[in-house]
Structure 1
Amino acid sequence: MQTQTSRIQQDLETLATYTSTPGQGVTRSSYSKEDTMAKEYLIGEMEKLHLHIYQDSVGTIFGRREGTIPDAPVVMFGSHYDSVVHGGAFDGAAGTVAALEVMRVLTEEHFCNDYPLELILMNAEEGATFGPCTGVTNSRAMVGTLTMEELRTVKNRFGQTKLEAMKEYGLNPDLASCVRKPGSIKNFVELHVEQGPVLDQAQVDVGLIRYLAGIGRYTLRFHGQTADSTAPMSSRKDALVAAAAFIQAFDAQIKALGEDVTGMMGKLDITPNSNQFVPERVEGKIEIRTFSKAITETTDFKQLIQTILDEVSHKYGIACELEEIRRVGYSNPTGPSIMNGDNVEKLRSICDHLGYRYLEINNGTGHDSMIMTDFCDTNMIYVPSRNHGVSHCPEEFTDYESIKKGADVLLEFIKEISKA
């Protein structure tokens, strides 16, 4: 049994037409008209397979295929189909389509699964819709960490809260009803485009994931005093000089923690941004990534940042602010997500059997799988991203044959783990 490239291409090209920005990439925001159109198409394809189709109260679509073992935990596989504004046609959608194609082949070949199978299609993975740390909505609802506080407070670019957008979309969120019982999911499996250049540069077919990095984010503000470029150096309160001093000290502190953690202040907004005036205000954003649970458990990153800020504030005579950007109910940084190691070995064997070249890869991007790792055995399959690995833009591209190879690996893996 193998998947069909032509059907994968047809699905992806059809989904790409459901965009609010034709000719300017794919914009399919959660709870939008385009979301509805994509959902209707996907449900139509699922109906052809005679699956039991149902939707939870936050909009997650499931297509269930019963197994031979009554009341057994489910093998769940799929991804998301929403996109960022002016995004690409492959992020999320490739995994959604690959999972749909796997279910098609299993149905056509009358495969006998012991554990029930559930195709999962999620419509609110992208945090860009409602702001940082508001993504992976559907998976958080399943594991019980999505909150009504978030739904009532975060807003999209149109000024709607997530709750308002959900209700306009036709949902009435009952978060308690979405939560899966512990032990009810045997495995969660997601295929995704890499969103990086490693697999393409290595000329391999498949990436096998062992870890997804934990993520921490913070906003810093430095308040100085504007002055003309002729102002004496001794009298200045230069917010940018203070920010530069912070960056240097923060970089040294992160390096001192070792190779298991990275961090930077990679975005600066300067006011006034002019060579003629002393900067009076700088806002910067920090991002921390780590593959070490020990680091997140033993290091208070907020206090580390605050200590450096206090030193900078005292030295340069300016006010500094620290604001956490964090997901409600989660630590900042979050801990790294660890995939099931035994299943990684199974995936290696499958790749060898199929003759597909593979590479074990740890990646810093966030996916619904990172939410699921603490709830059930979870694994990810990556397929190469072309064009130097660019993503979240119209130039995002993965060739259809590459997705087919990833889907073949997914198919064989689902067959193996769904047997008693």
Structure 2
Amino acid sequence: METRAERIQANIEKLSTFTSTPGKGVTRSSYSKEDRQAKDYLIEEMKKIDLEIYEDSFGTLFGRREGKNKNAPVVMLGSHYDSVVHGGGFDGVAGSVAALEVMRVLHETNFENDYPLELILMNAEEGETFGPSTGVTNSRAMVGTMTELELKTVKNRFGQTKLEAMMEYGLNPDLQEAKKKPGSIKNFLELHIEQGPVLERENIDVGLIKYLAGIGRYTIRFHGKTADSTVSMIARKDALVAASAFINEFDKQIKELGDSVTGMVGKLDIQPNSNQFVPEYVEGKIEIRTFNKEITEEINFTKLIQDILDAISTKYEIETELEEITRINYPNPTKPSIMNADNVQKMITICKDLGYSYSVINNGTGHDSMIMTDFTDVNMIYVPSKNGVSHCPEEWTDYDKIKKGADVLLHLVMDLSCDE
């Protein structure tokens, strides 16, 4: 039993037409007109295979295939279909369409599943829409960690709060209604493009994920004093020099923690950004990632960063600031998300049986799956990304590669949805 690449291609290409920036990548923001168009198309595809369709108050779309044991927990499979601004046609969509195709094959072959199956299609995964640490909305609503505070405070690029955008879309978000009961989901399965170069570089068909990294994000600010480039060196309060000293010390201290954690200052904004004036202000963004749960419990990264900033303030006689970019109701950094090890082994066997090359890998990107690991057993499948790029018009994954990932998903679903 296998999926069909041509149907996966047709679905993905059709979804790519629902964009507010034709010719400039795919822009399908949460709760937009394009979101609704894509959802309506997906609903029509779901109707063709007789799924029981329902939508929760956060806009999450479900398609249920009943099992012999109607009251049993569901095996849930899917991903998101929203995109960043000027994004690509594969991030999220590849997983959504692969899951749809799996359900299509099961329908056509009259597969008899003991556990109910539910296709899940999410429309608010991307954090870009409402700002850092505001994504994975659908999954957070399902597990009960979404808050009224976030709904009423974070805003999109049009100035709407999340609540206002959802209500204009036709939703009346209800935190209690959207929350799934503990034990109601047996497994959560997600296929996704890798968003990295490893699988393509090593010519591997399928990535089987063992961990998703814990993530910490921070903003640092340095307030110096602008001056002409002729001002003597000793009289300067150069914000960029101070920021550079911070970066060197931060890099040194993160390296001393060992290979289980990474960290960097990956973005700087400098004012005035000129060779003629001493920089008076620098803002930087820090990102920390780790696959080590213990290090997030043992190390207070906020204090580590603040201590370095305090030392820099004293040495360079400038003011500094630290702001945490944290998801409401979650620690910063978050803990790593651990996939179900038994199912990784099952997928290894599936890949061998199908003749697909595979690699068991860890990956640092964030997905709805990372939210679900505290709620149920979770597994992820990655398929190669051309040149490792994503979130841009050049994003691409060959359809035959998605088909191979979908085949692995299909056989895993068949296994998990039947009694031992």
TM-score by length of 1: 0.99
Provide the rounded CA distance (Å) in 2 between the counterparts of 1:401 and 1:124: 27
Deviation at 1:175, TM superposition (A): 0.8
In structure 2, the partner of 1:331 is 331
C-alpha distance after superposition, 1:56-78 (max 9, x if no partner): 00000000011111310110000
DSSP 3-state at the match of 2:275: coil
Provide the rounded CA distance (Å) in 2 between the counterparts of 1:374 and 1:254: 27
Deviation at 1:80, TM superposition (A): 0.2
C-alpha distance after superposition, 1:186-216 (max 9, x if no partner): 0000000001110001101100000000000
In structure 2, the partner of 1:406 is 405
Deviation at 1:234, TM superposition (A): 1.1
C-alpha distance after superposition, 1:216-238 (max 9, x if no partner): 00000000011111111111111
Q: Give matches, 1:311-390, under 5 Å.
A: 311-386=311-386, 388-390=387-389
Q: Give matches, 1:6-405, under 5 Å.
A: 6-386=6-386, 388-405=387-404
DSSP 3-state at the match of 1:270: strand
DSSP 3-state at the match of 1:35: helix
Matched AA of 1:409: V
Provide the rounded CA distance (Å) in 2 between the counterparts of 1:139 and 1:186: 15
Provide the rounded CA distance (Å) in 2 between the counterparts of 1:249 and 1:2: 53
Provide the rounded CA distance (Å) in 2 between the counterparts of 1:144 and 1:77: 19
Provide the rounded CA distance (Å) in 2 between the counterparts of 1:342 and 1:50: 31
C-alpha distance after superposition, 1:296-332 (max 9, x if no partner): 0111000000000000000000000000000000000
Provide the rounded CA distance (Å) in 2 between the counterparts of 1:79 and 1:328: 22
Matched AA of 1:344: V
DSSP 3-state at the match of 2:114: coil
Matched AA of 1:129: T
Provide the rounded CA distance (Å) in 1 between the counterparts of 2:362 and 2:182: 27
Identity, in percent, stands at: 73
DSSP 3-state at the match of 1:266: strand
| Runs ≥4 residues deviating over 3 A | none
DSSP 3-state at the match of 2:259: coil
DSSP 3-state at the match of 2:201: helix
Matched AA of 2:245: A
Q: Which blocks of at least 5 consecutive residues in structure 2 are unaligned? A: none
Provide the rounded CA distance (Å) in 1 between the counterparts of 2:9 and 2:249: 49
Matched AA of 1:61: L
Deviation at 1:413, TM superposition (A): 0.3
Matched AA of 1:410: L
Deviation at 1:390, TM superposition (A): 0.6
Which deviates more, 96-105 or 66-75? 66-75
Provide the rounded CA distance (Å) in 1 between the counterparts of 2:371 and 2:22: 32
